[in-house]
């Protein structure tokens, strides 16, 4: 599947209107099908006269369908207004980039679609009802289903109120974004060790490939681009990775030897968009969590407990990373490196997790202490020396910021004690920490 097709499918799947539109079409088709069933005479008379089906006249049917249509479209407007108010609240307190989590929420989409679909169903059935003076046709089965849909909408409304009350809770939002991070880790990392190939070597004869487009790299079809390079005996090194911004006219890749058609092949294998997406960009998924913590630490909100919750999720994500490996960004074909592109490294991932939170938590000893505590847990589980060194660097940065900004000597001593415990955990594991406490 090409990068542009994948981008199109992802974009369509995240549109707010898609599920409501599908439910509207389902409502229309259901109404047409049931009205045809009523016209066909297949519904037995004994069933029509039973209490299980609507058996009123045409005037009552029109009144009932009119009430269902008017009420459902009115409630649909209310649902939309509540959704917009929730989006405004989320944008102000948790960041505008998190609006995508509300927009693509299937519960919100289904609620709006249920009311609009019922409205469309009622209108389509209403047009077929005839009174005695007009020929007397009452679609009994269709009317019964309309009544059931009205009751369904009542249940959906109750669900929506509770659903939105939970969605605007900051802990719920943090958990939803954390789930995005877990899915990104599962999708963009591997349990198998990477080869660690250096990639193709380029000489001064390598040609740069400019790109006149602009936007964030959202999709990369590395396999297709590597196949093209192998077929033409070339090597390609992309200068941007998924999530990077491509500037118009700047070089997007190097190719050696210079081959006609390389620019076209790269354009077909990449897709740009106006915003970063977490489906191919692990750092962006992490930065959504970071944004919640940074806003919570701002003077206008001043909610360190939210920042502590975010740090706990960061630690869980790093624990998820322990058995997994980040890709090396090198694609081989027939034993030869045909394509290389930048990838997220462990250093950069941890930097994106902790740098901004640490910088904004300079005056909050509780957040700095919790940050080292989270690193202590992770370094006790993560035994790879290079990753331990990354965590050590961040623990040292937290201690340095605390020594510079924390005025209370007791708070500072508490931070130093946590740093000492981190060092013991890194060198000797949980046993060394337990002995130190004893």
pLDDT at 68: 92
Q: Residue 219 and residue 280: Cα distance in Å, rounded? A: 7
d(C-alpha 123, C-alpha 176), whole Å:
38
Rounded CA separation 354/371 (Å) = 8
98-142 pLDDT, tens digit each? 666 667 778 888 998 999 999 999 999 998 888 777 777 888 888
pLDDT at 99: 65
Q: What span, in angstroms and rounded, lies between the C-alpha atoms of 367 and 385? A: 26
What is the per-residue pLDDT for 18? Answer: 87
N-term to C-term CA, the chain:
59
Cα dihedral: 16, 17, 19, 22 (round 10): -170
Q: What are the tens digits of pLDDT across the range 263-284? A: 899 998 898 888 887 778 888 8
Cis ω for the linkage preceding 413 (within 30 of 0): no
Q: What is the pLDDT of residues 360-415, one digit of tens each?
A: 998 789 999 999 999 999 999 888 999 999 999 999 999 999 999 888 899 999 99
What pLDDT does 309 receive?
Answer: 93
- Are the beta carbons of 375 and 388 closer than 8 angstroms? no
Q: With a cut of 80, say whether residue 432 has pLDDT above it.
A: no
**Is residue 237 within 8 Å of 287, Cβ to Cβ?**
no
Rounded Cα distance between 28 and 122, Å, is 9
For the beta sheet containing 270-273, the strands, ordered from the edge strand earlier in sequence to the opposite edge, are 245-246, 215-220, 270-273
Residue 199 pLDDT > 80, yes or no? no
Handedness of CA 74, 80, 86, 89 (dihedral sign): negative
Compute CA 179 distance to the chain's CA centroid, rounded to the nearest angstrom: 8
Torsional class of 157: left (φ above 0), alpha (ψ -120 to 50), beta (otherwise): alpha
Q: Which residues pair with 332 in a beta bridge?
A: 337
* d(C-alpha 330, C-alpha 185), whole Å: 19
Count other C-beta atoms under 10 Å from residue 22's C-beta.
13
At residue 90, the pLDDT reads 66
The mean predicted confidence, pLDDT, of the chain is 86
Q: How many other C-beta atoms can be found within 10 angstroms of the C-beta atom of residue 283?
A: 19
Q: How many CA atoms lie within 13 A of 268 on its CB side?
A: 13
Distance CA 108, CA 90 (A): 15
Lowest mean pLDDT among 7-21, 144-158, 168-182, 361-375: 7-21
Please report, to the nearest 10 degrees, the dihedral formed by the alpha carbons of residues 278, 82, 96, 17 taken in order: 40
Q: pLDDT category, 438, cuts 50, 70, 90?
A: very low
pTM exceeds 0.95: no
More confident residue, 348 or 362: 348
The yes-or-no verdict on residue 203 having pLDDT over 80 is no
Residue 273's pLDDT is 84
State pLDDT tens for residues 222-255: 888 888 988 888 889 999 988 899 999 999 999 9
């Amino acid at each position: 599947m090409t990068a542009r097709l994948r981008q199109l499918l992802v974009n369509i799947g995240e549109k707010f209107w898609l599920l409501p539109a599908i439910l509207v079409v389902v409502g229309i088709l259901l109404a047409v099908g049931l009205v045809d069933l009523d016209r066909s005479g297949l519904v037995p008379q004994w069933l029509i006269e039973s209490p299980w089906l609507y058996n009123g006249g045409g005037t009552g049917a029109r009144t009932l369908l009119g009430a269902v249509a008017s009420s459902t479209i009115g409630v649909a407007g209310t649902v939309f207004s509540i959704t917009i108010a929730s989006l405004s609240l989320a944008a102000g307190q948790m960041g505008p980039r998190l609006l995508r989590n509300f927009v693509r929420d299937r519960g919100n989409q289904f609620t709006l679609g249920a009311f609009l679909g019922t409205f469309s169903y009622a209108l389509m059935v209403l047009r077929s009802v005839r009174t005695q003076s007009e020929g007397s046709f009452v679609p009994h089965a269709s009317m019964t289903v309309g009544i059931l849909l009205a009751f369904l909408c009542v249940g959906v409304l109750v669900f929506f109120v509770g659903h939105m009350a939970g969605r605007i809770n900051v802990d719920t939002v943090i958990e939803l974004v954390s789930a995005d991070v877990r899915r990104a880790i599962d999708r963009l990392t591997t349990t198998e060790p990477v080869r660690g190939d250096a990639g193709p070597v380029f000489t001064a004869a390598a040609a740069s490939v400019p790109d006149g487009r602009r936007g964030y790299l959202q999709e990369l079809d590395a396999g297709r681009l590597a196949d093209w390079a192998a077929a033409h005996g070339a090597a390609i090194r992309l200068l941007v990775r998924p999530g990077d911004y491509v500037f118009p006219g700047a070089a997007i890749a190097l190719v050696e030897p210079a081959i006609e058609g390389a620019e076209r092949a790269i354009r077909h294998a990449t897709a740009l968009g106006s915003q970063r997406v977490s489906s191919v960009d692990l750092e962006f998924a992490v930065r959504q969590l970071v944004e919640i913590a940074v806003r919570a630490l701002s003077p206008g909100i001043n909610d360190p407990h939210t920042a502590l919750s975010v740090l706990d999720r960061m630690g869980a994500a790093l624990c998820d990373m322990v058995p997994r490996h980040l890709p090396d960004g090198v694609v081989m074909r027939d034993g030869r490196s045909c394509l290389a592109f930048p990838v997220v490294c462990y250093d950069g991932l941890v930097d994106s997790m902790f740098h901004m939170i640490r910088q904004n938590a300079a005056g909050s000893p509780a957040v700095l202490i919790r940050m080292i505590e989270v690193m202590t847990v992770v370094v006790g589980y993560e035994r790879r020396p290079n990753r331990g060194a990354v965590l050590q660097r961040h623990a040292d940065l937290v201690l340095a910021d605390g020594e510079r900004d924390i005025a209370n000597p007791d708070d500072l001593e508490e931070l130093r004690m946590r740093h000492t415990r981190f060092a013991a955990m890194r060198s000797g594991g949980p046993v060394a920490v337990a002995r130190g406490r004893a």
